[in-house]
Amino acid sequence: MIDAVRQILLKEVDDFLVTLTGYSENTQVAYRRDLNQLLDYLSENGLSRWKSIDAQVVRSFIAFQHRNGKSSPSLARLLSSMRSFFSYLVDCRRIDGNPAKNVQAPKQPRHLPKALDVDQTGKLLAAKVESFLAVRDLAMWELMYSSGLRVSEIVGLNLRDIDIDDGQVRVVGKGNKERIVPVGRVARDAVNQWKRARQPCSKDDVSALFISRRGTRLTTRSVQKRLRSWALRQGIEMRVHPHMLRHSFATHMLESSGDLRAVQELLGHSNISTTQIYTHLDFQHLAKVYDAAHPRARRKPRDA
């Protein structure tokens, strides 16, 4: 019975897949895989006509996939395949409406960005620097933390982009959006020290602020590796990555000022909803303080 039902439904799926000849092979494979999963579900539930499928059936199918471990992005892609297929059936007048049109995938749990606390940040940046590489690296870490820069923005900086006297740096961020952000005193001092150390290795045709021993612009990968090694030498065992300094900047700024709009401008976020994730981090900090300090919040000791 199941095989017979599946064969009835399979013809429309095959007809639809023929229309995808202009798509990449990977896309066609993905559509076939997604729709085969739908066919399995429908045949196992005795549904043999497309017209009998409504939004509730689609939701039940998505819920079934979710219970079986499908991630939110996978479910969203699955729904996209279904919408395209049902739109095809509507165009062919085999069904009256698209049952997947208004069905949404379950939201993926939002993972809060990890940030260093103030003490950890101080420990990270407290190293004594003497070598060429150490002077350079500390200048990068100080600048990233001082101004909330992405690693791609750090490696993209040119000498002309930073104004030490005025205490500001011009940054080209995502989407080639330019912003000018302040640079703190400690970071200015570190960059000044680096600019002096940089001169012997500089080349006339390399305008990058941060360069290697060979005088070439750094890659994001090399910066990531340097920071990881640096953090371990400073006794920080958690995995530290460049974006963590940006998260730390945003979190500490918000904890001190409470000015979400200002933090949005400093980070270069086009939408404040992106910045609002740091309010969750700030709340976590406040909750920990509350739990530790409020007499009614402390856990009762377990009975002996």
Taking all residues of the chain, what is their mean pLDDT, rounded to a whole number? 84
Is 278 among the catalytic positions?
yes
**Given the residues 136, 150, 188, 247, the one annotated as active site:** 150
Q: What is the pLDDT of residue 291?
A: 60
Mean predicted confidence (pLDDT) in 178-205: 89
Is 299 among the catalytic positions?
no
Mean predicted confidence (pLDDT) in 250-275: 74
- Note the pTM of the prediction, 2 decimals: 0.57
Asked if pLDDT for residue 1 goes beyond 50, the answer is: no
Mean predicted confidence (pLDDT) in 40-63: 89
Q: What is the pLDDT of residue 173?
A: 84
Block residue for tokens 């920080």: 236
Mean predicted confidence (pLDDT) in 212-229: 94
Q: What is the pLDDT of residue 286?
A: 46
Is 196 among the catalytic positions?
no
> pLDDT: is 226 or 299 the higher one?
226
Q: What are the residues whose beta carbons fall under 8 Å from the beta carbon of 254, sequence distance 6 or more?
A: 260, 263, 278, 279, 281, 282
Distance of CA 162 to the CA centre of its chain: 27
Asked if pLDDT for residue 212 goes beyond 50, the answer is: yes
Of 147, 143, 231, 228, which is closest to residue 189 (Cα–Cα)? 143
Rounded Cα gap, residues 231 and 233, in angstroms = 5
**Given the residues 136, 246, 247, 252, the one annotated as active site:** 246
Q: What is the pLDDT of residue 151?
A: 93
Asked if pLDDT for residue 294 goes beyond 90, the answer is: no
Q: What is the pLDDT of residue 109?
A: 62
Q: What is the pLDDT of residue 272?
A: 66
Asked if pLDDT for residue 20 goes beyond 60, the answer is: yes
Is 280 among the catalytic positions?
no
Is 150 among the catalytic positions?
yes
**Given the residues 174, 177, 221, 288, the one annotated as active site:** 174
For 64-119, how does the pLDDT look when each residue is reduced to its tens digit (9 = 90+)?
A: 998 888 888 889 899 999 999 999 999 999 899 999 998 888 776 666 668 888 89
Angle, vertex CA 147, rays to CA 118 and CA 189, nearest 5? 85
